[in-house]
Amino acid sequence: MWKKARISSQVIFFFVFLWLFVNTKSKGADELGYPVKAFIDADPLLFLLTSLASRSIEVIPYLAIVVFIVTALFGRVFCGWVCPLGTLNNLVGGLKRKSALAPTHNWFWVKYALLVFLFLSALFSLNLSGLVDPLSFLIRSFSVFLYPTFTNLTVLLSIKCASFGELYFLQGSFIGVLFLLVLGLNLVERRFWCRYLCPLGAFLGVLSRFSVLKKTVSERCNNCGLCERMCQGNPNKAECFLCGDCDDGCPQKAIHLGFKGKELPWGIDIGKRRLFGAIFGGIIAVPLFRISPTRKVAFASEKLIRPPGALEEKEFLRRCVRCGECMKVCITNGLQPTLLEAGWEGIWTPFLVPRIGYCEFRCTLCGQVCPTGAIKRLTGKEKESLKIGLAVIEKNRCLPHAYSIPCIVCEEVCPTPKKAITLETVTVKTKDGKEMEIKKPQVDPELCVGCGICEAKCPVVGSPAIYVTSAGETREREKKFLLDR
């Protein structure tokens, strides 16, 4: 009964996850209409670490509170019955040939040490939770690896589907390799990630200390060891996923899940040396991750163009959990994961690459899907007046400026109500000595919002003749391009 109920729950929640993920996209209107970030909102670890690092609470996470309470009352139900990454690990782990011996590895302490490391670093304002949190990891992997792989496959096979088109992501292959590695570890040991690496699982294990749902073993047990071979986690209380495999599979019917009886020990033991090592690592990680001068505005990459509504850089890094929701929902494919453009602290955070895709002038979807408020939700009116950068003309490459060849593409595509790119008519001499009039583009820094459509549409091959820099962005006062008059 337990096993069938658990499998049914896993299937239902996994398909809900897929449905929400697929619907994280524009359908023509600037409103999604679905709670696409529900699974991230249900992650209590992300909420706690983000709030701790930013010293603030952006929204009340009702779903995370529900998971918190359910775990405190009944144990790690989320891990065994709900988590979509746990379901995938369970599915892949089923491909492994069953062993006659129980797992001999004793690496459960690793995820608890990682949890301590994350809490200590967040205490000193460094939020690394999104790199290893299972829900953030899964959505990021789906967004920049699985989904574009699937969409590009439909194009390759000439499958006509209005919902799909070619997508490309920086770091897509790298993130994909990490995702496949996590799944492949299940062939070493079933649910390897869940047993030894998952920090959310460790956090829920700590919460389960006083849960009222208990697993008890009666005197009928003859120590055959079958339950240990079937167990997806570990027989102790903190590592029990409540999967029901041991209850349903025990030939002596000696194992029972219920609310009465003497329960098994809690079972968390990191060890003092490992605990102090995790504490020291969490503290020393803060200066190590910030050695790069990119946190200083003067040294920040000019190509680090954040999404519209992004908070000031230091606060943005404290809040962004690298889930990839904003990249998935970007209608032009322009939002990409960084590597080291924002330093080690900013790895896999979103930035705009106009040559891949520009920021649609009236689109505010990225702020709608951000689960932590790292990207503010904007109205259409607020978006129109917000600057994320400034376009700069490279006159040595611009066709009218450098070669006297007529071209007005950048002016034509400029979306601002009053054109930020204007045309100056000048008289020039051709190579045969004749005079001709030509229109040369000029950028008005007060009107340009840095959307990048001019760079995306520039016909000059290779490095475009007009490009967008992060100078002049609204969120950073120190990057103000024009002095106050």
Helix axes 272-289, 109-123, angle to 10 degrees: 40
Please report the pLDDT score of residue 485 as a whole number.
Answer: 47
| Phi–psi pair at 38, nearest 5 degrees | -60, -40
Alpha carbon distances (Å) from 162 to 345, 365, 385, 409: 38, 20, 32, 28
Q: How many whole angstroms from its chain centre is CA 90? A: 22
Beta bridge partners of 467: 392
- How far is residue 315's CA from residue 463's CA, in Å, rounded to a whole number? 32
| Residue-wise DSSP of 247-305 | HHH-TT--EEEESSSPPPP------HHHHHHHHHHHHHHHHHHT-SGGGSGGGS-TT--
Please report the pLDDT score of residue 249 as a whole number.
Answer: 65
- How far is residue 399's CA from residue 461's CA, in Å, rounded to a whole number? 11
| Model pTM score | 0.90
Please report the pLDDT score of residue 49 as a whole number.
Answer: 95
| Phi–psi pair at 392, nearest 5 degrees | -130, 135
Helix (H) or strand (E) run with residue 455 in it = helix 453-457
Question: Amino acid letter at 10?
Answer: Q
- How far is residue 257's CA from residue 250's CA, in Å, rounded to a whole number? 12
Please report the pLDDT score of residue 431 as a whole number.
Answer: 76
* 323-336 tens-digit pLDDT: 999 999 999 999 99
Question: Would you write out the chain's pLDDT as a tens digit for each of its 485 residues?
Answer: 778 888 999 999 999 999 999 888 887 777 876 667 889 999 999 999 999 999 988 778 889 999 999 999 988 899 999 999 999 999 998 887 766 555 667 788 999 999 999 999 999 999 999 999 999 999 999 999 999 998 888 767 766 654 556 788 999 999 999 999 999 999 988 899 999 999 999 999 999 888 887 777 767 777 776 776 777 777 777 788 887 777 666 776 767 777 776 666 767 778 889 999 999 999 999 999 988 777 776 667 788 999 999 999 999 999 999 999 999 999 999 999 999 888 899 999 999 999 999 999 989 999 999 999 999 999 888 998 899 999 999 999 999 999 889 999 999 999 999 999 999 999 888 777 788 899 999 999 999 999 999 999 999 998 999 999 998 888 887 777 665 54
Helix axes 44-54, 62-74, angle to 10 degrees: 120
Number of CB atoms found within 10 A of residue 475's CB: 19
Reference 447, options 395, 391, 485, 408; nearest CA is 391
- CB 304, CB 338: distance < 8 Å: yes
Please report the pLDDT score of residue 65 as a whole number.
Answer: 93
